[in-house]
Structure 1
Amino acid sequence: MQKDTPVVLINGLIGCLDHPALHDTLPTQVIAPDLLGYGTLQDTAPKLIDIAAQVEHLHRQLQARNVARAHLVGHSVGGVVALMFAHRYPQQVASVTSVEGNFTLNDAFWSAAVARMDREAVEQLLASYRADPGTWLARAGVGPDPRRLALAQRWLAHQPAATLQAMAASVVAVTGAARYPQQLQAVFAATPVHLLAGEHSRAGWDVPHWAERAAASFTELAGVGHLMMLEDPPGFASAIARLLG
Structure 2
Amino acid sequence: MTTNTLTRHWMELTIDGTGVRLSCISRKGAGMPIVFLHGFGSTKEDYADVALHPAFAGRPIFAYDAPGCGESECSDLDRISIPFLLKTALAALDEQGIDRFDLVGHSMGGLTSLMLAHQAPERVASFTDIEGNVAPEDCFLSRQIFLHPHEDPEEFLEDFIARNWAAPFYSSPLYATSVRYKVRAGAVRGIFESMVDLSDNADLMAKFLSLPLPRMFMYGEQNKTLSYLPHLASNGVALAEIPHSRHFPMYSNAPEMWRRIAAFQARAYEDSPSAETACA
- Residue 143 of structure 1, CA deviation: 5.9
Task: Kindly report the root-mean-square deviation, in angstroms, between the aligned alpha carbons of the 2 structures.
Answer: 2.7
In the alignment, the residues of structure 2 paired with residue 23 and residue 213 of structure 1 have an alpha-carbon distance, to the nearest angstrom, of: 34
The aligned residue for residue 229 of structure 1 is 250
Match of 1:199 in 2: 221
Give yes or no for the alignment of 1:70 onto 2:94.
Answer: no
Measured in 1, the distance between the counterparts of 2:101 and 2:200 equals 28
Aligned residue in 2 for 1:7: 34
1:220 maps to: 241
In structure 2, relative to structure 1, the CA distance for the partners of 1:44 and 1:114 (3 Å cut) is: farther
| Aligned residues between the structures | 233
How many Å separate the matches in 2 of 1:230 and 1:222? 12
Instruction: Report runs of 4+ in structure 1 exceeding 6 Å deviation.
Output: none
Aligned match of 2:3: none
Secondary structure class of the residue paired with 1:219: strand
**Which amino acid is the alignment partner of residue 97 of structure 2?**
N
Structure 2 residue 188 is the aligned partner of structure 1 residue 164: yes
Q: Give the Å deviation of 1:212.
A: 2.3
Q: 1:68 to 1:209 in 2, by over 3 A?
A: same
1:61 positional shift: 0.9
User: Matched residue of 1:73: which SS?
Assistant: strand
Gaps of 5+ in 2: 1-28, 267-280
What TM-score results when the alignment is normalised by the length of structure 2? Answer: 0.73
Alpha-carbon shift at residue 24 of structure 1 (Å) = 1.4
2:150 pairs with 118, 126, 148, which one? Answer: 118
Alignment equivalent of 2:167, drawn from 110, 127, 139: 139
Kept in 2, the 8 Å contact 1:193–1:217? The answer is: yes
Identity across matched positions, percent? 22
Q: Distance in 2 between matches of 1:242 and 1:191?
A: 16
Which protein has greater RCO, CA pairs closer than 8 Å, 6+ apart?
A: 1
Q: Given that residues 68 and 184 in structure 2 are in contact (C-alpha distance below 8 angstroms), is that contact kept between their aligned partners in structure 1? A: yes
Q: Structure 1 37/207 Cα, relative in aligned 2: closer, same or farther at 3 Å? A: farther
Query: Which has the greater radius of gyration?
Result: 2
If each structure's helix is expressed as a fraction of its own residues, which one has the higher value? 1
Encode CA deviations 1:67-96: one digit per residue, 9 max, x unaligned.
Answer: 111111111222111111001111110111
TM-score (norm 1): 0.82
